Structure 1
Amino acid sequence: MVTTRRGRRPAAGGVPLTFEVIAEALRERIRSGGLRAGDALPTQAALMREFGASSLTVQKAMALLKQDGWAVSRPGKGAFVAHHGHPDSADDLGGPEATAPVGGTAARVDALERALIDAVQQIADLRGRVEALESGGAKRGR
């Protein structure tokens, strides 16, 4: 395989680079249920040992996962599996301290829109209940 400067390969290359292999292995763990939404991803040191990779290679793999929306970072806490299709999951990964890179923003916006739709529906249901109670109470009070 021909590589260009800085270890990059042509776009039509065939063999995945080590950081791509690491990212795909973690995606497969997520798909298979070995890692679930909200679970902490393995540490950089653990991934370096497991794959015999450098810290830069592991960092590139994690950046790829975050870019693609598979992981989120919590400063001072680590990286965690992002919520894919789990809007009812109850933890703090959606809080303001959770970060997603630009590539994962679309998935987070979709999840937030679904949550907003659910909240609006709940408000409408509550408003209907209040109106029913108020109209029922007015009839009884006459």
Structure 2
Amino acid sequence: MTGVVGRRGRRTAGSGVQLTFEVIAEAVRERIRSGGLQPGDALPTQAVLMREFGAASLTVQKAMTLLKQEGWAVSRPGKGAFVAHHDDADDLDGPEATAPVGGTAARVEALERALADAAEQLADLRGRVEALESGGGERGR
């Protein structure tokens, strides 16, 4: 196991040594990049990764959380974790087709757009309510 850090996973800043959960996440990313795991495929279970890397369950959970945050994996409650699908697969060729499209940054941007759309809809609704109230007097109350 290369890059594994000693007790309690501590490392010095800028040491370049990966923590075990980072090693696990990178190994899974490489399997996806190489085509060994395709979008929609089930990722190895926690038990399999624990055995393979000699890691604790919390360490494997941290690796899976990282992969999900970066957009490489998705969870399906009661079913497990799977390689993420990408909406814009037509724009990608070769190995990039399995790389996350923007990862966390893309999700944040999408959420910001959705929030802006919702705010616009609320402003429109507020205007309609005000128009109804001013035109209808006390009738609507």
| Same topology, TM > 0.5 | yes
Contact 1:44 1:59 in 2 (8 A): yes
1:107 Cα shift?
4.0
Contact 2:11 2:17 in 1 (8 A): no
Contact 1:69 1:107 in 2 (8 A): no
The 5-angstrom pairing of residues 46-57 of structure 1 reads: 46-57=48-59
Bigger shift: residues 39-48 or 12-21: 12-21
1:40 Cα shift?
0.5
Partner of 1:33 in structure 2?
A: 35
Partner of 1:120 in structure 2?
A: none
1:45 aligns with 2:47: yes
Partner of 1:59 in structure 2?
A: 61
Following the alignment from structure 2 to structure 1, what is the Cα–Cα distance between the partners of residues 82 and 106? 15
1:106 Cα shift?
4.2
1:69 aligns with 2:66: no
1:78 aligns with 2:80: yes
Following the alignment from structure 1 to structure 2, what is the Cα–Cα distance between the partners of residues 71 and 62? 8
Partner of 1:137 in structure 2?
A: none
1:10 Cα shift?
3.4
Unpaired runs of at least 5, structure 1: 89-102, 112-142
Unpaired runs of at least 5, structure 2: 91-101, 111-141
Partner of 2:26 in structure 1?
A: 24
Write the letter of the residue equivalent to 2:18: P
The runs of at least 4 aligned residues of structure 1 exceeding 3 Å deviation read 84-88, 103-111
Contact 2:9 2:19 in 1 (8 A): no
How many residues align? The count is 95
Percent identity of equivalent pairs: 83
Partner of 2:118 in structure 1?
A: none
Pair 1:40–1:108, CA change in 2 (3 A): farther
